[in-house]
């Protein structure tokens, strides 16, 4: 039972800055990581090198990658993920205190957390018990926010990405990242007998030289011009995260989803 209006107000007031402070801390680490990534990328650019195979007439365009992404990014990335995930659990605690008052029973305090599930069955069996101390409106809203509500796209839900990446960081290792290259071959003039563009994907010094593409000129157009190049950014190498997206974009999307969709819908119940 609640201790009374004054006790309830005090405990909710103390809980609210807790999840907000976690979000603010995640933002600080995110900004630091973004600066590190941008600085590293600005120093990395290498010009493609073209080599002609005289026998086949095919020119291979490649680029050499000399550096792995810095190991020092791992702890910073982990701090971002940890504080995002922790902010949700602190929010769950605040919602429970708002409904039950304080102190919570030892069992309720231990079991309260923000559930994230990819299936309704999993949520019904395990997730619902983690939010049983909240108001019915808060419980309904949290269920509506579950990744499984997206149907076939559940794996792209920002909360699911956070859940998986955070678990990797907490229980296994720093979430793996790498340089991601997207090769380009732009025909500037004339036509070619054959043009092949390399495959987009992670590129490390172990993969060097990385093939941007190949081309073969026509005998009757020896002066045809082609411009090879590549776009590059840092992406996750984990199977749980879309590899075609920048690390910064995925982290920003998770943070924006927490602030706008999760807090925006749940803070009215505090």
**Average pLDDT per consecutive 10 residues, the chain (270 residues; last block may be shorter):** 44 67 96 96 89 93 92 94 97 96 93 97 96 98 98 97 95 89 95 96 87 95 95 92 92 98 96
Residue 221, CA distances (Å) to 59, 132, 224, 227 in order: 15, 74, 6, 16
Whether 2 and 101 have beta carbons less than 8 Å apart is answered as yes
Q: What is the pLDDT of residue 5?
A: 41
Which residues share a beta bridge with 60?
Answer: 51, 214
Q: State how far the Cα of 50 lies from the Cα of 115, in Å rounded to an integer.
A: 53
The domain limits of the chain are: 5-269
Q: What is the pLDDT of residue 247?
A: 96
Beta strand pairing status for 49-53 and 177-189?
Answer: unpaired
């Amino acid at each position: 039972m609640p201790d009374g209006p004054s006790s309830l107000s005090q405990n909710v007031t103390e809980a609210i800055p807790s999840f907000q402070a976690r979000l603010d801390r995640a933002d600080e680490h995110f900004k630091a990581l973004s600066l590190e990534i941008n600085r590293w990328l600005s120093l990395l650019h290498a010009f493609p090198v073209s080599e002609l195979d005289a026998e086949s007439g095919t020119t291979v365009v490649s680029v050499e990658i000399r550096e792995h992404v810095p190991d020092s990014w791992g702890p910073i990335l982990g701090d971002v993920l940890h504080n995002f995930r922790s902010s949700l659990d602190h929010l769950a605690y605040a919602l429970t205190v708002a409904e039950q008052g304080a102190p919570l029973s030892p069992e309720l305090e231990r079991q309260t957390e923000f559930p994230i599930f990819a299936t309704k069955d999993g949520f019904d069996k395990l997730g619902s018990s983690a939010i049983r101390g909240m108001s019915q409106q808060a419980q309904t809203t949290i269920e509506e926010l579950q990744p499984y509500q997206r149907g076939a796209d559940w794996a792209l839900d920002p909360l699911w990405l956070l859940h998986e990446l955070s678990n990797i960081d907490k229980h296994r290792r720093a979430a793996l990242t790498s340089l991601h290259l997207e090769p380009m071959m732009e025909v500037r003039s004339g036509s070619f007998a054959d043009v092949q563009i390399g495959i987009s994907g992670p590129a490390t010094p172990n993969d060097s030289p990385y093939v941007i593409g190949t081309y073969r000129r026509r005998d009757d157009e020896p002066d045809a011009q082609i411009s090879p190049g590549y776009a590059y950014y840092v992406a996750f190498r984990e199977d749980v995260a879309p590899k075609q997206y920048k690390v910064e974009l995925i982290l920003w999307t998770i943070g924006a989803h927490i602030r706008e969709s999760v807090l925006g819908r749940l803070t009215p119940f505090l």
